[in-house]
Structure 1
Amino acid sequence: MTTSSLERITVEPKSTAQACVIWLHGLGDSGAGFAPIVPSLKLPSDHNIRFIFPHAPDRAVTINQGYVMKAWYDIKSMDLHNRADMTGVLESEASIHQLIEEQIQSGIHADKIILAGFSQGGVVSLFTGLRYSQKLAGIMALSCYLPNADKLPENLHEANKTTNILQNHGAQDEVVLMSSGKMANKLLVEQNYNVQWKTYNMPHSVLPEQIDDISLWIQKQLT
């Protein structure tokens, strides 16, 4: 059995898991940052969704003076066209592939798995989902951008060409400007991806109204 090297927090449903949400945190955070969101989703008590909140590996982050923190990839500059270290992005993609494979081998089909992420985690989830070779249930990209800035990733896979994608962004986001999220959205729309965009009156964060909307979206993809 393929086993991911990523440590993680797993929240199991009361019944046997038949679906899964893999949710990636942002820069400097950990899986513990988003794990408490599960009760806030107010899912039906008999839901069968496993939530996995992996911890990114520790790495030096250039824009933070080389300080070592949990990061899915190095951020080299604030310039969107030179921000993401693609070596790190690809390493994280491989780790997420292992997580997905673990779920498949446990009996959960790929089309019952949602890749979700916030900020850096959203970048990796979107990048990985668009390139993944089996159809996923959905891709959720919160307050993030594409690592290739103004172009879609290379080696897109047809398996997820029709997969539903949810993009959310805060109108007051000063960490990841909304324009970078809109750039990604424009590219996806132009290539006829099934992408849903919604803006919220918030900074670089999530808020209760948005969590309610996310809950409905997750349930729609997994039921």
Structure 2
Amino acid sequence: MTQLQAIEMETGANPDAAVIWLHGLGASGHDFEPVVPELKLPDSAAVRFIFPHAPTMPVTINGGMQMPAWHDIKSLDLERAVDEAQIRHSADLVREFIEQERERGVPSERIVLAGFSQGGAVAYELALSYPDRLAGLMALSSYFATNATIQRSEANQGLPIRVYHGTQDPMVPEALGRHSESTLRELGYNVRYQTFPMDHSVCLEEIQDIGAFLREILAL
């Protein structure tokens, strides 16, 4: 039994693959529900999408207000001071969804992790430290906050990674996305970086590319 609540959507009976997708600050698992039909996955594909709801905690940049968050953000500068211990704790909570899927019969190598904004920071931490091979990682408008401290897993050294970012993002500047990409390349990861003329959001072209990525790595 997972500690976090989540929304589940299945594209077919008896799913043999799963995508665990983390929302951004102040949002909820409902944020990315509408994306699933727009991915245009094949009718024959049976994929379970899991959209967890982040726990509620005080967030420094919002005056200490309590809101759904994967970790505290202490400043919005390019250093992006975050609470790494909270990122790791959230990664542990999301890890329970991976274990749940494996108990349901979905092998780890058919589980994809995705995250938007601060959800992406958690997805980076979890995917690249997970001890068994996963299917892929997607970071949307995000940042690799724990790159200097993460305990990396050899099993996921060859993990396919997609990093997406908006060129007009005022919340998570594109420089953070590019820094994530360059750090991943320096660490030897298989990463592709793609930008879109948008702000801190998603766009149809990005969703279409995500659909193609899922079809590729899950052989749908």
Range class of TM-score, shorter chain: over 0.9
Q: Which blocks of at least 5 consecutive residues in structure 1 are unaligned?
A: none
Q: Aligned match of 1:93 in 84, 87, 91?
A: 91
Q: Following TM superposition, by how much is the alpha carbon of 1:15 offset from its aligned partner in structure 2, in angstroms?
A: 2.1
Query: Can you list the C-alpha shifts for 1:136-161, whole angstroms capped at 9, x where unaligned?
Result: 0000011111113xx44431111100
- Over the matched positions of the two proteins, sequence identity in percent amounts to 43
Indicate yes or no: 2:68 matched with 1:70: yes
Q: Following TM superposition, by how much is the alpha carbon of 1:80 offset from its aligned partner in structure 2, in angstroms?
A: 4.0
**Aligned ranges 1:201-216 → 2 under 5 Å:** 201-216=197-212
Indicate yes or no: 2:206 matched with 1:196: no
Indicate yes or no: 2:160 matched with 1:171: no
Indicate yes or no: 2:14 matched with 1:16: yes
Counterpart CA distance in 1 for 2:149 and 2:159 is 16
Counterpart CA distance in 2 for 1:210 and 1:202 is 10
Query: Can you list the C-alpha shifts for 1:40-90, whole angstroms capped at 9, x where unaligned?
Result: 111111211100000000111010001111000011112343521112101
The residue number in structure 1 matching 2:45 is 47
Counterpart CA distance in 2 for 1:189 and 1:124 is 19
Query: Can you list the C-alpha shifts for 1:197-222, whole angstroms capped at 9, x where unaligned?
Result: 10111111100111111100011111
Which amino acid counterpart does residue 127 of structure 1 have in structure 2?
Answer: E
**Aligned ranges 1:2-151 → 2 under 5 Å:** 3-81=1-79, 83-148=81-146, 151=147
How large is the Cα RMSD of the aligned pairs? 1.1
Which amino acid counterpart does residue 49 of structure 2 have in structure 1?
Answer: F
Which amino acid counterpart does residue 26 of structure 1 have in structure 2?
Answer: G
Q: Which blocks of at least 5 consecutive residues in structure 2 are unaligned?
A: none
The residue number in structure 2 matching 1:184 is 180
Which amino acid counterpart does residue 187 of structure 2 have in structure 1?
Answer: Q
TM-score (norm 1): 0.95
Which amino acid counterpart does residue 183 of structure 1 have in structure 2?
Answer: H
SS, match of residue 144 in structure 1:
coil
Paired residues of 1:127 and 1:153 also in contact (CA < 8 A): no
Counterpart CA distance in 1 for 2:159 and 2:127 is 9
Counterpart CA distance in 2 for 1:139 and 1:80 is 23
Aligned pairs, number: 219
Counterpart CA distance in 2 for 1:143 and 1:103 is 26
SS, match of residue 44 in structure 1:
coil
SS, match of residue 10 in structure 1:
strand
Paired residues of 1:144 and 1:181 also in contact (CA < 8 A): yes
Counterpart CA distance in 2 for 1:80 and 1:158 is 29
Q: Which runs of 4+ in 1 moved over 3 A?
A: 79-82
CA 1:19–1:70: 2 relative to 1, 3 Å: same
TM-score (norm 2): 0.96
